[in-house]
Structures are given as C-alpha cells and as structure tokens.
Amino acid sequence: MTGKGRATNPRRMAEALIAGTNSFTSDFEINKKLVSEMTSLPKFVRNRVAGHVTRIKKSESLKSTRITALDALRTYNHYRRKRRGRYR
C-alpha cells in the first residue's frame, strides 16, 4: 500500500462537530480556528474538516434562500391566477 493512511474521515468529523455546537459559520478562517480549539488534529486534517463545515453551512444557507424564493413565486402565481379568474 502506498501513500499516507488517513485515520479520520473529515466529512463525518465535520457533521459530528456541527451537531455538537452551533458556533460554526460559512467563513473558512473562523471555522478553522474553532476546529483547532475543539480538536487536536494535524493541520491538513483540520483544514479538510473546516472546509467540510464551511461547505455544509453554505449549503444550509442556500437551501433556506431557495425555499423563501419558491414561496414568493408560489404566492405571486397564486395572485396572478386569482386575478385572471383561473383560481381553483
């Protein structure tokens, strides 16, 4: 077997850290500091975990934005149908 063996899975660690605390943000530098305070990981693993945390937080914020945009579109279409007499 060649290469370095990885004892940790950064994605699982990121999900576990997010479940344990609510202080993470969508900024990589802040998340990197928080991960280093919470764990004693090597630098390359810490950065990967912080990267996954940042990715998860950004996707959560995008999901909430998409939901509100869809709700606004549904409300607008509902209003248009009602004015045109196509409301069911």
- pLDDT, tens only, 1-30: 455 555 568 888 899 999 988 889 999 999
User: By the 8 A CB rule, do 46 and 36 touch?
Assistant: yes
Place of tokens 């007499």: 85
Task: State the Cα–Cα distance between residues 76 and 27, nearest whole angstrom.
Answer: 34
Indicate whether 1 belongs to any domain.
no
| pLDDT for res 31 | 94
Looking at residue 85, its pLDDT comes to 67
Residue 88 has pLDDT above 70, yes or no: no
Within a domain: residue 40? yes
pLDDT in the model for residue 49 = 93
- pLDDT tens column, 25-81: 999 999 999 999 999 989 999 999 999 999 999 888 877 776 677 777 777 777 777
Report pLDDT for 38.
92
Question: Which backbone phi and psi does 37 adopt, to 5 degrees?
Answer: -75, -35
44, part of any domain: yes
**Domain span at residue 58?**
10-84
Q: Is residue 39 part of a domain?
A: yes
Q: In the prediction, which pLDDT does 21 show?
A: 86
Task: Count how many domains the chain has.
Answer: 1
- Say if 5 falls within a structural domain: no
CATH number at residue 52: 1.10.60
Residue 73 forms part of a structural domain: yes
